């Protein structure tokens, strides 16, 4: 065995540099891909984008073969997969207990959470650019096959709205991850948030007139929906702002507080 030296005799090291944030981000980004589940979750974005594009080309009526159809079809599964990525990136530290190492290597949990949020956003933006590209390819190929005219009906502003909507979905995952700090709990909560609550809200709106007027102001999902379907009026932007504050920002602050205070065991 070669002599590998451990030399602990340096109690007063001079000026050890701080762990810079970009290093933490790089490591957190790496941790999203380096497990089998993480890898397949990422791969699923690519696979789903390709499958939905093929699906649209094969099954959508010719008149619907526009860029928006492709963008929407690819975008929807992403609003489910991206939050999961955000959730698992945070809850893994507790559920898999790797936080014991992570939070001792960087004893500032807010920095770790910031790094995780930024890496999730980076993954989301990359995925969406990829989705737009695949959608464009689908539009070119699809219309060529169907012999219809190419329709590019997603303006830059509309595209930006879709990106914003997807990011809100993703950050909902980040928020739930912080709030629950358990993969199972956060995933269940996400499905309640994304599917159960909107359904309940929809039923309520259909049977109660008073709630129908209120819905855009209290239903996060409903208000967000506008971002995916075109340009927004001033009131719709206000709806997005109010629901985001109540359903995302406030619980996220509570979650962050819990993350900072909770014991890591």
What span, in angstroms and rounded, lies between the C-alpha atoms of 256 and 83?
17
- Residue of 24, 32, 84, 123 interacting with other proteins (CB under 8 A): 24
What span, in angstroms and rounded, lies between the C-alpha atoms of 53 and 51?
5
Site string for other proteins, 99-138 (x = CB under 8 A): xxx-xxxxxx------------------------------
- Closest distance of CB 217 from other proteins, Å: 39
The beta-strand segments (E) located in the chain are none
Nearer to other proteins, 125 or 264 (CB): 264
Sign of CA dihedral 99, 100, 103, 105: negative
- Residue of 21, 47, 62, 98 interacting with other proteins (CB under 8 A): 98
What span, in angstroms and rounded, lies between the C-alpha atoms of 22 and 30?
12
What span, in angstroms and rounded, lies between the C-alpha atoms of 90 and 248?
16
The crossing angle, in degrees rounded to 10, of helices 234-244 and 220-228 is 130
First and final CA of the chain: distance in angstroms? Answer: 36
Size of the site for other proteins (CB under 8 A): 43
Tell me which stretch binds other proteins (CB under 8 A): 31-39, 56-64, 183-191, 218-226: 31-39
Tell me which stretch binds other proteins (CB under 8 A): 28-36, 46-54, 61-69, 243-251: 28-36
Interface residues toward other proteins, by CB under 8 A: 1-2, 4, 6-13, 16-19, 23-24, 26-27, 30-31, 34-38, 92, 96-101, 103-108, 261, 263-265
């Amino acid at each position: 065995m070669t002599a590998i030296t451990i030399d602990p005799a340096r109690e007063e090291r001079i000026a050890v540099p701080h762990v810079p944030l970009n290093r933490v981000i790089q490591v957190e980004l790496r941790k999203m891909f380096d497990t089998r589940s993480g890898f397949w979750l990422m791969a699923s974005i690519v696979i789903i984008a390709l499958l939905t594009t093929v699906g649209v080309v094969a099954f959508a009526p010719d008149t619907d073969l526009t860029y928006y159809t492709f963008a929407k079809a690819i975008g929807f599964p992403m609003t489910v997969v991206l939050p999961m990525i955000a959730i698992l990136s945070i809850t893994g530290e507790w559920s898999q207990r790797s936080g014991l190492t992570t939070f001792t290597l960087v004893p500032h949990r807010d920095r770790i959470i910031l790094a995780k949020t930024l890496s999730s956003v980076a993954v989301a933006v990359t995925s969406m650019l990829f989705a737009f590209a695949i959608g464009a390819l689908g539009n070119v190929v699809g219309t060529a096959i169907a012999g219809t005219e190419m329709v590019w009906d997603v303006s830059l502003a509309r595209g930006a709205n879709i990106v914003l909507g997807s990011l809100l979905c993703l950050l909902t995952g980040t928020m739930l991850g912080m709030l629950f700090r358990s993969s199972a709990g956060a995933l269940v909560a996400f499905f309640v948030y994304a599917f159960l609550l909107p359904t309940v809200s929809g039923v309520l709106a259909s049977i109660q007139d008073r709630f129908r007027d209120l819905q855009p102001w209290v239903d996060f999902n409903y208000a967000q929906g506008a971002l995916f379907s075109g340009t927004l009026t001033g009131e719709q932007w206000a709806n997005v702002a109010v629901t985001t504050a109540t359903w995302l920002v406030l619980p996220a602050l509570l979650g962050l507080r819990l993350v900072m205070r909770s014991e890591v065991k």
